[in-house]
Structure 1
Amino acid sequence: MAGNPRNGRRYRRLCAQQRALGLPCWICGGEIDYSLTGYAAQRSAWAFTLDHAQPLTRGGDLLDPANARSAHRRCNSARGNRSNHHGQPVRASRRW
């Protein structure tokens, strides 16, 4: 039985490649704090996470570099599985 593909070498390599680009968050346009790693990155809303332009739940490919985007942890979580429209990022907002 195969393990979690997010723990695999190909996924970790894709994350490292995307991180190395140093791009701003594709959702809000803000700068990402790439200095955060390990536990600090897991706790910070402004740390890097790998997001997928086409959500995995909507048929997006986990390992396709063309589907990979840099995002803040907070923006990625708020966006959920909503798709972008016409190539433009979804401006995530949360209703309280």
Structure 2
Amino acid sequence: MAGNPRNGRPYRRLCAWLRAQQLPCWLCGHNINYQLHARHPLSFTLDHERPLSRGGDLLDPANARAAHRRCNSAKGNRTPRAQPQRASRRW
């Protein structure tokens, strides 16, 4: 494959499929404004649950998640840890 694979038709198709679902950010849980300019910190980006640098697949829909640009950048190539569950009441 020549050039950047993220500029190819399969990657753009995966982004469009994910964008059409209008999902909230999988990292912070807040809604994403899908109308924002691509460089805005709260705009949509395609994030990979398993980072590409750690063996994740670029075009696998099961690995693709909707995220804010800021959340995706903050995560970097780390895999998010499960957040500890809080008790509903103080004991």
Give the structure-2-normalised TM-score: 0.86
Q: Which amino acid aligns with 1:11?
A: Y
Give the structure-1-normalised TM-score: 0.81
1:22 corresponds in structure 2 to 22
Q: Which amino acid aligns with 2:42?
A: W
1:5 corresponds in structure 2 to 5
Gaps of 5+ in 2: 84-91
Structure with max Cα Rg:
2
Pick the aligned partner of 1:80 from 60, 76, 79: 76
RMSD: 1.4
Residue identity (%): 69
Which has the larger share of helix? Answer: 1
Q: Which runs of at least 4 in structure 1 moved beyond 4 Å after TM superposition?
A: none
Deviations 1:6-46 (A, max 9, x none): 0000000000000000000000001101012xxx221x111
1:56 corresponds in structure 2 to 52
Deviations 1:51-90 (A, max 9, x none): 00000000000000000000000000000011134xx48x
